[in-house]
Structure 1
């Protein structure tokens, strides 16, 4: 899978923010609501299946309320890979018809009134009743919710094996497990395996227990992620070294798309700016970025990194090489102050940059990653470049989709669309 944004609002906000003529771009097949991209020479193919989900709306964060922080930390792994130019080629090829098609092909999940969530049995037509029953917490602690417990509990290590780890990761949409380790815990109760057997789903294979030998629980990684082969220096606005950010690549050859899953994007508030791409074939020689895990935070003012092939200045041309810049996470209450974004930052958004100006993502970077490094030395997809006013302006930091807020949706879609 990969993810993209469905527009580049940084461009539209730049135009509405000042009386400046539109910058000159190469010939582009795009319309309002679509990114402005340089066309790629990609052979024509039949458009992939496009579906759209309709989750519940999030609530606005007031300027006086402390932020919902970006989350990361322990080590949740994802097969989501940043393939920016793949998204570029797709947007150019299909143009606005893509989003019109999405409106007609929403994921329709029919559920009976007698449905029982997290009992290990699929009651709904798309299985949504069983798609939000597993998550990973701090240090990748496997947490499972069942119909009987109604809450997420750690899984006792007694009877656990790599085979069960593989089946659990496959349930979540991955190929197999990468690492199965045990953690010491002082919490109770637990989910314990039923006679050490796995039947269809992990939530259908466990039962609540007050006892767990040696208080050891399962820590599960489903892929090796977030470890670039080179070190990172704290610099900004420069060309990235080759291999420095191996989850974002410029393709020589196209990878064909099997499915596009759109979130319920709000064009007025710019909420829910997220989508997933499912590829026809696996991507080789790419290190996936880690998804954040539940309950882990990155502190305000922490230096994270954003990368992209967008313009390096307002009105400039797109970069032919991958650019990188270090940005600081900015508290949502600060970002919502008058003189900054004046209350339009929602809880599923994250501001980052420099309030003094100078360091920022820009037009053409939408859909690209903002990553933060955790104590385990892995990098986590904290944000996805979404919108902003201009580029690098004072009191106009970049606004990113807060990935942690979308973890239930991401994991649910990975489970529903898994092979």
Structure 2
């Protein structure tokens, strides 16, 4: 169904500018073509050829004119709103079938037609308009206008429509309007999202909901929760609140296709889809623990769901209520006094409303100055991702405008007196989560007592200066340093931790940490450490000796199987590196894309997290292993409904406890907070414990074990397996991976109640072995933190080292094994390399 089928229909008018005067040539007099004395046969042939060419040309022109030219018109739809200042809103205007609605709508469309007719770029292409709704204030009309525009003229029409406010003003100032004409102001108009105009739509639904103070309404996608939403459908919900209130929209379920180019929801601060009033476009799957909550700026809101022909998902459910304007979440600013305090953008940590302006006036004791630190700063929207001018949403402090997304705690401003003002402005389109900030009174002469003051005025511990980590956020703590013998001495003067050397990442900024890393310029580094000429790559010969110079070559046939090539189920090998579950079937039998229902975090991850706490469902393969009657001891990973992978050192007997016995353990899947076993948590006893037969308790070599559950676990949004990599899977140095667990958050500290996460980077094994005094075996891998002070610790043992792939799946790169203390900046964590045990895992579990 066409988008306009929901309103009045219009037939395009004939275009007076089209040329209708072309006539066919009259028939020629055949007698004049009879053979005469003169040029002879050659002349006749030439004449016939010329005549045929002329006829063909004219025929082509006429075919083009009457057939093709009429097809080069495109349908252009524009949405808009305007305030009618000389009318008062009546309740009947809310009902589009009422006599009052129809009468006012007729007046609006009549005046729109008059306005368009006086604009040359619009008059000849105009088809018609429909009024979609009215709302309070005095009366606001929401409309759609259709134009039939010749191909190539779209830009001119778009330009004219973008100046609709000026066209309306000019028309009203002309003085030619009848005395009973409507008076318009606050005119907004823009092109309709082209995705709402697809001819393939089969269904169009429109619903209305008017909230009340003592009522919470519910909107759901068609079929929810019993079946997925339908294909090729547009659904619109027009939401209204009472005068003096705003709409609160709170999704408790949101599960759409991941790509917004396919299925999406758009929320508008309007009753029609005006792009300059869109608040947010969302798709994907959001956790109920991370709700999506929006507030309108007025008493109206439009929610639009658009689906295409493929992959229908469960859909959405949202609660609709009204909040009094001036109530919680709708206001901000004010006077703040005292030695310290906190303030946030309105509705934080949910989305702030559009069209808002706030000012906080902060005053501290007279002998102090004010320091403001933004702990979270999320003011991103399309058009100002990298903007230096901040013309859309912004915070203004000390005469500086700030926008975009900033690292936690890195935005700090200090006043020159005991007073400072903080301004927050949000325009009419696109909203974000906002910010949370704190202010504190400090001594202007000593702003960072016993600490180092960064150039951005942030205060950090003095022992963090010149340690190779960008603790300030602006690198000022790493300038003018003298490097220690244990650091990389970059040529540009920076000092960097030694374990970033030779990992393929330019940490110094001048690439000096990647020099002298084995092979010379023009040489290729083989996986076995050998160097060969770059020219020998993909030449069909095994120059490395391990076949790694022939990996990722365009040639895919007749690949010789080796320790570094991926073997398909049909026993043929391919040269592509890491082909598993990347979305492309590289094996002839498609086996590289089999068993790929793993390693998927179904929820979209919010940017609002407390410290390093993971979100519920973010790592659904994480397991908490409890000793019965005691509590959490180790972590593990789900690899199938029955099997877990953990560390061998977790299941070694000691004098008091027989950890090797399955009866000692119980496994918790889907757990987020220790001792809170809600509906998302599954508990199982353990049927069997299999420790690797060659585990060495002194060196931690072969530190891996398997656990079989006494009954299979059912997968859910919160319980899913991680992908087990093939033996040939490569996890190169420099790659970012995640460690997770409930272990101690600091060395010697207590276990964390909430699942923690930390992003770390895989470290070059040669460098790591040197740093760790030669203790690293070929079955171990090293990973270190990307920002200091975070690492795996006691209680994280056995948990996963999770490696996200480009195909959207996460692979089990390692198992938390051992380390030198916890969170020591130049001491990486050591993990058992899962690829080295792939055959053993398959033998014991069948996975």
TM-score by length of structure 2 reads 0.25
Instruction: Judging by fraction of residues, say which structure has more strand.
Output: 2
Between structure 1 and structure 2, the one with the greater Rg is 2
TM-score (normalizing by structure 1):
0.48
Structure having greater relative contact order (Cα 8 Å, sep ≥ 6): 1
